[in-house]
Amino acid sequence: QWQRKKKIELHLPPAPKGLPIIGHIHLLGKNPHQDFRRLAQQHGEIMYMRLGSLPIVVVSSPAAAELVLKTHDAVLSDRPHYLSTTRLTYGHRDVIFAPCGPYWCNMRKLCTLELLSGPKINEFQPMRRAELGLTVEGIRRAAEGREVVDVSARVAELVGDMNCLMVFGRKFVDRDLDEELGFKDVIDETTRVAAQPNLGDYFPSVAALDLQGLNRRIKKLSATFDGFLDTIIDDHVEKKEQEKEKKGWYFVDVMMAIMESGGAGFDFDRRHVKAVLLDMLIGGIDTTATTVDWIMSELMKNPTVMKKLQKEIEEVVGLDQMVDKSQLSSFKYLGCVVKESLRLHPVAPLLAHAAQEECELMGYNIPGKTHVFVNVWAIGRDSQVWPDPETFFPERFLGSNIDLRGRDFQLLPFGSGRRSCPGLQLGLMIVQSVVAQLVHCFDWELPDGMLPDQLDMSEKYGMVISRAKHLMAIPTYRLNKIV
């Protein structure tokens, strides 16, 4: 009776009309971020919905985002837990899905210190430069034969290699992870399956039936990763035995050393190591590669912007050499292009948070454990926030001090607050250097006489929103000599 009374007293945010039992599930299709935006246009910047038995709140304005990510950050920075993420993360022993608390806080600090800090990022700069050089050379050869290049696949491979070299100290070929699917394909498939609405999450009583077969698929994928990570860890243990005196430590070694020392100060076994390593793979590769993919797509769709960017880089670098990392900070227009692309294509369109306990938001009651989504995708396309929002126009950022690091709530591609992306510096640096190099070293043309405005920009929903179709283009080498 007390609970019923409490329910009646709750002043919940406005909600679309729901149905008995299923609530609002029927209102969501293949692209929930787009559906949430459409619904928010009718019901407002803060909206309450129920997916089966699961209460959710969606916010879709900079002011509401600030309340979630700054004002009420302490209460709203838990993560939603789903059947898929629970399995993939060894029961939330990672960083991305770990509940707020000492474990999450310590692991996040550790990842920042050992992999994502400025000095660590610099340590791996020569490796990243060499990998970029290999990719440019591969594309240059394709250009000689006027081949159509799968830009999406090349970028994914490059970013995957860079990331694996930093985390594991070696690269992998496709079949190292799965006999049939490629490395990036398995990561892609995982983020896609994990993001698919699972009836078992909405109706826990039918979870065991696995009506959509999603639990089976995620079980198979997590077994693939588990075997892969076990092999890597075993290799490192063996290598350490043989090369005791050698330094050359990679992130995996640091994790293993903490585990073996027993001095973490919190529970830390092989499952924790694997969960965190998986975060660095899934959190680092797909996000960065997809960001580059969207930027290259927008540049090919907008040839005048491409030319202007090439000119900016050429004026500093000339046409006799590749771009050097030290030159990146002088490319103001490149910064605008990156921001503008992330405004239209934030790779994580919904920041997924959860309420640790009941709180008040914009005068409404938010019950404890409610999932709170910040629709960054909708904010980036809101005409009240951005003039002519659907147009790709990097110049809107010239002379503006709107930043993408989480200070300005109209542009949140890396989130904001205590759950914001710890890989921002690394991710942004890789994005800028890859785009600068691809644009500087090559002219790009769409295949089969396709005109720029015919390029299909459809999205494919997942934990990361990627292009529905790979970006294909014909490169022409534009430097004066082979570098």
Task: Output the known binding site.
Answer: 421
Phi, psi of 24, deg, nearest 5: -115, 15
Minimum CB distance to ligand HEM, residue 179 (Å): 27
Q: Considering the rule CB under 6 A, would residue 160 count as an interface residue with ligand HEM? A: no
Residue ranges at the known binding site for heme: 421
Residue that has been written with the tokens 């929930």 in this structure: 32
Minimum CB distance to ligand HEM, residue 288 (Å): 4
d(CA 227, CA 233): 10
Minimum CB distance to ligand HEM, residue 158 (Å): 13
- CA 156 from chain centre, in angstroms, equals 13
Q: Which of 252, 336, 426, 479 binds ligand HEM (CB under 6 A)?
A: 426
291 or 466: CB nearest ligand HEM:
291
d(CA 232, CA 226): 10
Minimum CB distance to ligand HEM, residue 333 (Å): 19
Q: Considering the rule CB under 6 A, would residue 195 count as an interface residue with ligand HEM? A: no
155 or 446: CB nearest ligand HEM:
155
Binding positions for ligand HEM, 92-151, rule CB under 6 A = 95-96, 108, 116
Strand partners, 350: 375
d(CA 112, CA 94): 14
Binding positions for ligand HEM, 340-399, rule CB under 6 A = 347-348, 351
154 or 419: CB nearest ligand HEM:
419
Contact 80, 57 (CB under 8 A): no
Q: For residue 36, how many C-alpha atoms fall within 13 Å in the half-sphere facing its CB?
A: 28
Contact 357, 367 (CB under 8 A): no
Q: Considering the rule CB under 6 A, would residue 287 count as an interface residue with ligand HEM? A: yes
Name the token pair of 265: 């100060």
Q: Considering the rule CB under 6 A, would residue 90 count as an interface residue with ligand HEM? A: no
Q: Considering the rule CB under 6 A, would residue 291 count as an interface residue with ligand HEM? A: yes
Minimum CB distance to ligand HEM, residue 11 (Å): 26
CA distances to 138, 395, 439, 445 from 479, rounded to whole Å, are 15, 27, 11, 16
Query: Would you report the helix, strand and coil content of the chain in percent, each value rounded to 5?
Result: 55, 10, 35
Contact 299, 337 (CB under 8 A): yes
100 or 193: CB nearest ligand HEM:
100
Q: Which stretch binds ligand HEM (CB under 6 A): 34-42, 205-213, 314-322, 414-422?
A: 414-422
Closest CA to 260 of 242, 233, 279: 233
75 or 431: CB nearest ligand HEM:
431
189 or 293: CB nearest ligand HEM:
293
Binding positions for ligand HEM, 427-466, rule CB under 6 A = 427, 431
Helices (H), 49-116: 62-66, 83-88, 102-111
Q: Considering the rule CB under 6 A, would residue 64 count as an interface residue with ligand HEM? A: no
As to burial, measured by CB atoms within 10 angstroms (0-12 exposed, 13-18 middle, 19+ buried), residue 81 is middle
Minimum CB distance to ligand HEM, residue 233 (Å): 18
Minimum CB distance to ligand HEM, residue 69 (Å): 6
203 or 294: CB nearest ligand HEM:
294
Contact 470, 151 (CB under 8 A): yes
Q: Considering the rule CB under 6 A, would residue 289 count as an interface residue with ligand HEM? A: no
Name the token pair of 249: 């430590």
Minimum CB distance to ligand HEM, residue 77 (Å): 8
25 or 96: CB nearest ligand HEM:
96
Q: Considering the rule CB under 6 A, would residue 159 count as an interface residue with ligand HEM? A: no
Q: Which of 283, 394, 462, 475 binds ligand HEM (CB under 6 A)?
A: 283
Q: Considering the rule CB under 6 A, would residue 83 count as an interface residue with ligand HEM? A: no
Q: Identify the H or E element spanning 366.
A: strand 364-366
Q: Which stretch binds ligand HEM (CB under 6 A): 123-131, 215-223, 377-385, 412-420?
A: 412-420
As to burial, measured by CB atoms within 10 angstroms (0-12 exposed, 13-18 middle, 19+ buried), residue 431 is buried
Contact 37, 381 (CB under 8 A): yes
Contact 68, 374 (CB under 8 A): yes
Question: How many residues contact ligand HEM, by CB under 6 A?
Answer: 25
95 or 313: CB nearest ligand HEM:
95
At 380 the three-state DSSP class reads helix
Q: Which residues bind ligand HEM (CB under 6 A)?
A: 95-96, 108, 116, 279-280, 283-284, 287-288, 291, 347-348, 351, 413-415, 419-423, 426-427, 431
